[in-house]
Amino acid sequence: MKIKINWGTGIVIAMVLFMIFILSFVYKSLTPEYTHELVSEDYYKDELLYQEEIDKLNNAVKLDTKITLNNSDKGINIKFPENLEYQKVEGTISFQRYSNSNLDFVKSITLNSNQYLIPDSILVSGKWIVKIDWNYEGKEYLFKEGWFY
């Protein structure tokens, strides 16, 4: 027995296969594995403060030496400019993951030298958005960079 498929049946089969293909992508996008999180819960409020952020970034650009990040076996080492008195540096360091907001954390800056270590125990390998919002002698600075650990 030979099965004959005419052009009408072929079109219907092609449409059904295409719909199954599209629906499989819709199903995968709705599973909990692919969460769709906002970068910030208060993005409207953050937008209003954006000019202040730009001013802080410009202040940081004018520094003679910049903040540097280095990966080590102990974690991420953050090195502040050596020409500053480290006791006068105040602020916060925030680490943000776009892929999982549950991993985000914020540390307050308390320096014993011009270096600050983020320990390996609280870091997960991958891309982090590092944001260091700090002030020195009344002037505010901001360092923002994507960093792979």
Structural domain includes residue 6: no
CATH of the domain at 57: 2.60.40.10
Per-residue pLDDT of the chain (149 residues; tens, 9 = 90+): 677 888 999 999 999 999 999 999 888 888 776 665 656 667 777 777 888 899 999 999 999 899 999 999 999 999 999 888 989 999 999 999 887 888 899 999 988 899 999 999 999 988 999 999 999 999 999 999 999 88
Following DSSP, what letter does each residue of the chain receive, concatenated?
A: ------HHHHHHHHHHHHHHHHHHHHHHHHSTTS----S-TTHHHHHHTHHHHHHHHHHHHTSSS--EEEEETTEEEEE--TTS-GGGEEEEEEEE-SS-GGG-EEEE---SSSEEEEEGGG--SSEEEEEEEEEETTEEEEEEEEEE-
Give the total number of structural domains in the chain.
1
Domain assignment of residue 103, given as a range: 43-148
Examine residue 126 and state whether it is found in any structural domain, yes or no: yes
pTM of the entire predicted model: 0.68
The answer to whether residue 3 is domain-embedded is: no
Q: Is 7 within the bounds of a domain?
A: no
In a domain, 12, yes or no: no
